[in-house]
Structure 1
Amino acid sequence: MKSDACDASLFELDENSSIPLWLQLKNRFIYLITSGYYKPDDKLPTVRGLAADIEVNYNTISKVYKSLEADGYIESKRRQGAFVCDVSNKPGVSISATAEIVTTEYVRRCRELGMTLEDIEAQFAAGIARERKKLEQGE
């Protein structure tokens, strides 16, 4: 079980994005939960702690947690904190849905690095080729 300590690097936000900060954070939490980074029953950082660590308003984090709870990703327990729910049977949470989230994140980060879509496609194809070669060699 993960501790409730916060690794601020998990929550890089784009303040220039047209996507509101609270929604960027919510989407990031959903990704971290559905990808398995956070496991069922893991305790999330406190609202105050996360707000301080990533320098975002307390009310913004509170809104994220309330929204995640309403959508069934987390459960708040009074005086104990917020804990990750088992979402393995949740509609829309599947390998393909998680892969789509990961792919979207990959493309976004590559674009932030200044890569064109053609550059990203070539990089991705090279990565697939490397993995294919490893599989063929039995690694």
Structure 2
Amino acid sequence: MADQGNVIHMTIDEDSGIPIWLQLRNRLIYLITSGAFAPGDKLPTMRQLAVDLGINYNTVSRVYQDIERDGYIISQRGRGTFAHDGYLKQELAAGSAAESLADAFILQCRELGVPREDIAKLVEGRLRAAER
């Protein structure tokens, strides 16, 4: 298990068009699934992460709650928040990590009011742009 000094090396790109909470969520999930945080490793406190990234505490709290629900972390009152491998069971049930990202993207588009057809066009356009 890693020490309590784990630091999340990341930045928030306020000009990216991707909501801050989604950038943070995706980065934390990547750090956990890539092994940068092994199961049992302590994550920074919500307050510390908010200060380090210069973002609202409530944003960090929302992300921690979201990824805890998905099994990536586990919170223990009075001890802290730790990386967890519960997501593996959920991934097997729900499909691949890419499918989970696609689901999150679709949900965000729908919350923005983007019609289904436009979501598909957007993805196609971004795929073409990425191939250049």
The two structures have a TM-score, normalised by structure 1, of 0.61
Give CA-to-partner distance per residue, 1:39-75, whole Å, 9 cap, x none. Answer: 0000000011111111111111111100011111101
Aligned to 2:73: 74
Percentage of matched positions with identical amino acids: 49
State the SS of the aligned residue for 2:82: strand
Aligned length: 99
CA contact (8 A) 1:6 1:50 kept: no
Taking the aligned partners of 2:80 and 2:32, their CA distance within structure 1 comes to 16
Taking the aligned partners of 2:46 and 2:73, their CA distance within structure 1 comes to 13
Aligned to 2:91: 92
CA contact (8 A) 1:34 1:87 kept: no
After TM superposition, list the pairs within 5 Å mapping 1:1-139 onto structure 2. 1-5=1-5, 7=7, 10-87=9-86, 89-92=88-91, 97=97, 118=132
CA contact (8 A) 2:39 2:84 kept: yes
State the SS of the aligned residue for 1:89: helix
Alpha-carbon deviation of 1:90? 3.0
The structure with higher relative contact order (CA 8 Å, sep 6+) is 1
Q: Which runs of 5 or more structure 2 residues have no equivalent in the other structure? A: 102-129
Q: Which runs of 5 or more structure 1 residues have no equivalent in the other structure? A: 102-115, 119-139
Residues 1:21 and 1:4: Cα distance change in structure 2 (over 3 Å): farther
Alpha-carbon deviation of 1:5? 3.0
The two structures have a TM-score, normalised by structure 2, of 0.64
RMSD: 2.3
Structure 1 residue ranges (4+ consecutive) displaced by more than 6 angstroms after TM superposition: none
CA contact (8 A) 2:7 2:44 kept: no
State the SS of the aligned residue for 1:4: coil
